[in-house]
Structure 1
Amino acid sequence: MHIKDLDLNLLVVFDALLRERSVTRAAQDVGLTQGAMSHALNRLRAFFDDPLFVKTTDGMTPTPRGEQLGTTVSEVIAAIRQNVVAEARFDPLTAQRTFVLCMTDMGELVFLPPLIRRLRKLAPHCTLRSVQVPLEQIESMLSSGEADLALGSIHAAPEGLFQQQLFMHSFVTLVSVRNRKVGKTLTRAQFEAMPQIVVSLTGRASAAYDNAFDAYGIKRNVYLTTPHFLAVPHLIDAHPDLIATVPLELGTVFSKLGTVKVVPPPVPLPPFALRQHWHSRFNTDPANVWLRHLIKETFERYPLVSEQ
C-alpha cells in the first residue's frame, strides 16, 4: 500500500461512519449523497481489503480491522481539524492568542482604550501586548511575526510593509496653566521665543514638523527632544515657560490633568495620517486580517480633529 493510492478524503468518510454508525447520517455529516457515501465506503474496503463496517442491529459496526484503524483515523482527523483547518480561519470567539502591536506611548493613549473595549467583546480569550521599538526595527518585527501590526505615523514605511489609513489628526500647542503670559491664543513671537519640548522617536527633531514650520519661516527654540509623550505635561508643569506641540487627541487627554491647557499653534499645521502597517508575509493570515478589519472599523469613524 502507498499513501499516494489513498484519497485522503476517504479518511473523513471513515471518521464519519465510525462516529455515526449509519451510512445515511454519515453522508449528511460530510455533505454527500447516500449513494456517494456508499461508493466511498466501497473504495475504503477495496484499499484496506476488509469490509471495515458491517450492518448489524446496532447499525454499521466496525470490524476488528475497522476498530484498529479507527483510533488512528480519528486522531489524524482531529489533528487536521485543530492544527490545519483551524489555522486556515480565525474564530475570534474561541481563539486564544496574544496580539502584539508596535506603538508609541501616544499610540497607547489613543488606540488602546477603544480597542480593548471591542477586543474584550468580540475576542474574549485574546489579549494584547504593546511594544515600543525603534523605527528601523519595525520592519523586522513585523516580518518575523514578533509583532502583528504597527500603529501610528510612519512617514517613510519600509519596503515590504502594507499600510492602511485610519484617520487624520491635527496639532495643538500645550502651555502650562500657570503661564500667565499666554491666554487663549499664542502669538508667533511667543511661539518662537518660548523654549519647546519636541517628541521624536529618533531623538532628532521631526522633519515633518520642521518642514511645516519652515514653510512659514518659523524657527523654534527647541530646548528638549525626548522620545516620550507622557513626560511632556509633567515637564511643562515643572517648568511653566516650556511649551510643546502635540497631536490634538493627546492634548485633549493631557488637558484633563489640569496642569496644561491647549491653544492653537500660531500658524495652521497640515494634518497627519495615522495608519496601521503590516508585513506582506501576513497579508492573508486570517488572524492578521481579522485584527486589521477590527482596527479599521474601530477608528474609521474617529472624528476628524480640528483646531479648537
Structure 2
Amino acid sequence: MNAIHNADLDLNLLPVFDALIRIGNVSRAAEELNMSQSAVSHALKRLRAFFGDPLFLKTGTGMQPTPRALELRQPILNVMGTVRSELLVREGFDATVARRTFTLCLTDMGELIFLPRLISRLREAAPGCTLRTLQLPMDQVPPALESGEADLALGSLHAMPQGLYQQQLFTRSFVTIVNRRNRAIGDVLSREQFFEMEHIVVSMSGRIQDAYDAVVDELAGPRRIYLTTPHFLTVPMIIEQNPQLIATVPRELATKFAGYNSIRMVDTPVAVPPFAIRQHWHPRFQHDAANTWLRRLVKETFDTHPE
C-alpha cells in the first residue's frame, strides 16, 4: 500500500479541510497548520478537484462551507479526532512554540466571564495560540467535543448530556435584576412580588425546563415566564425598556448589568443554592496532550476566581 494516499486523494489534505471547517478563515487555518496561505489555498484547490465541489465559498464573514462540505464535515472531523487523540498523544504539547487555535463552547455569558482572564493567560503561556468560540444547542455540544471541532465546553451547562468528563472550576450564586424605575419594588423584592411579576429566562434550548435558573421553579414553584431567550446580554436592555419584567441571573453578570443606569440587583426571595461552573471535555481527548494542557490552564486561571 502506498504511504498515506490512494491514487487520487492525498490524506495530507484532510488537516486542511479540518482546519477550514473549524476556523472558516484561510490565514488563521494556515497559522494553525504552520503552512503558508498559498499552500492552504493550493490544498483547497486539490480538495475541490477531488470532491468536484467548491467546498468553501468566500463571504464577508469568512469561508462558508457548501452543502457538500457539511456532508463531509463529521466523517473528516472524526478521522482527525482519532489521529489527535490516539496517534499523536505521545508527541506532547509545547505551549511556548505551539501554533494552533483552541475552540471553546461558550454562551455569551461564558464569554463575558471567561474570555478576558483566559486571553491574558493564554497570551503569556502560549503566545502562538489563538482562541475561537462556538455557541451551540446543547445536543450539539457532545458531538463537537467528540469530533475535536471544540476542545472544551465551559459554563453552567444545565441538562448536559451524559458521557462527558467534567471538572468544577468555581461556584456562583443567583440574584434578581429589576428596573430602577419600577417604584413598586423597594430595597427588598418580596416573595409575593417575585411570583406576581413576569420573568425573562435564558435557555439555550428554548425550553423553560432547561433554563439556567430552572432550579427556582423546581424549588419554589412555577413563575410567570414572559420571555425565553438564548442570550444573557440582551436581558438588561429588554428590562430597561420594559420595567414590568425581571430576571434572575448569576451575581457576576448582575454586577456588570448594574452598570446600566436603569438596572439594579436585589436578593432573590427564594433560597437557591449556588451553582457550579465547570469545564467539560470528551473521553476521547482525556489523554490528548494539548487538551490536557488547556484544561490545566483553565483550572489554574479560575480555581480561585472570586465571586
- TM-score, scaled to structure 1: 0.68
Counterpart check, 1:300 vs 2:303: yes
Where does residue 183 of structure 1 map in the other structure? 186
Pair 1:252-2:240 in alignment? no
Query: Which digits, 9 at most, give the CA deviation of each residue in 1:96-141, with x for residues without a partner?
Result: 1100000100000111111011111111111100100000011100
Change (3 A) 1:211 1:126: closer
Which of the numbers 119, 123, 135 marks the counterpart of 2:122? 119
Distance 1:300 1:131, change over 3 A: same
- Structure 1 CA distance for aligned equivalents of residues 224 and 163 of structure 2: 37
Give the whole-Å Cα distance in 2 for the aligned partners of 1:137 and 1:214: 25
- CA distance in structure 1 between the partners assigned to 2:159 and 2:151 by the alignment: 19
Letter in 1 for 2:217: F
Equivalent residue for 1:221? 224
1:284 to 287, 294, 305: 287
Cα–Cα, structure 1 residues 260 and 87, in superposed 2: closer, same or farther, change >3 Å?
Answer: farther
Please state if 1:166 is matched with 2:172: no
Q: Aligned pair in 2 of structure 1 residues 281, 85: CA closer, same or farther (>3 Å)?
A: closer
Q: Where do 5+ consecutive residues of structure 1 fail to align?
A: 1-83
Q: Where does 1:185-224 land on structure 2 (aligned, <5 Å)?
A: 185-206=188-209, 209-216=213-220, 218-224=221-227
CA distance in 2, matches of 1:190, 1:157: 32
1:225-251 Cα offsets, whole Å, 9 max, x none, are: 111101100000011111000011111
Q: Work out whether residues 197 and 232 of structure 1, in 8 Å CA contact, stay in contact via their aligned partners in 2.
A: yes
Is 1:105 matched with 2:90? Answer: no
Q: Note the C-alpha offset of 1:156.
A: 4.0
Q: 1:143 is matched with which residue?
A: 146
The Cα of 1:206 is off from its aligned counterpart by 3.4
How many residues are paired up?
A: 220
**Shift of residue 271, structure 1, vs aligned partner:** 1.1
Does the residue aligned with 1:100 lie in a helix, a strand or coil? Answer: strand
For 2:159 and 2:246, locate their aligned partners in 1 and report how far apart those are by CA, in whole Å: 27
Gaps of 5+ in 2: 1-86
**Following TM superposition, by how much is the alpha carbon of 1:214 offset from its aligned partner in structure 2, in angstroms?**
4.2
2:238 to 208, 232, 235: 235
Detail structure 1 runs of 4+ shifted over 4 Å in the superposition: 84-87
Query: After the TM superposition, which of the residue ranges 155-164 and 122-131 deviates more from structure 2?
Result: 155-164
Give the RMSD, CA atoms, in angstroms: 1.8
- Cα distance in 2, alignment partners of residues 125 and 151 from structure 1: 22
Alpha-carbon distance in structure 2 between the residues aligned to 1:146 and 1:231? 27
More displaced stretch, 151-160 vs 282-291: 151-160
> 1:46 — aligned with what?
none
Between the aligned partners of 2:218 and 2:134, the Cα distance in structure 1 is 33
Q: Distance in 2 between matches of 1:222 and 1:157?
A: 23
Q: Structure 1 CA distance, aligned partners of 2:282 and 2:233?
A: 29
Q: TM-score, normalised by structure 2?
A: 0.68
Q: Equivalents in 1 of 2:222, 2:200: separation in Å?
A: 14
Residue 269 (structure 2) aligns with: 266
Q: Is the CA contact 1:212–1:270 (under 8 Å) kept in the aligned structure 2?
A: no
Q: Secondary structure at the match of 1:268?
A: coil
Determine what percentage of the aligned residue pairs are the same residue. Answer: 55
Q: Secondary structure at the match of 1:202?
A: coil
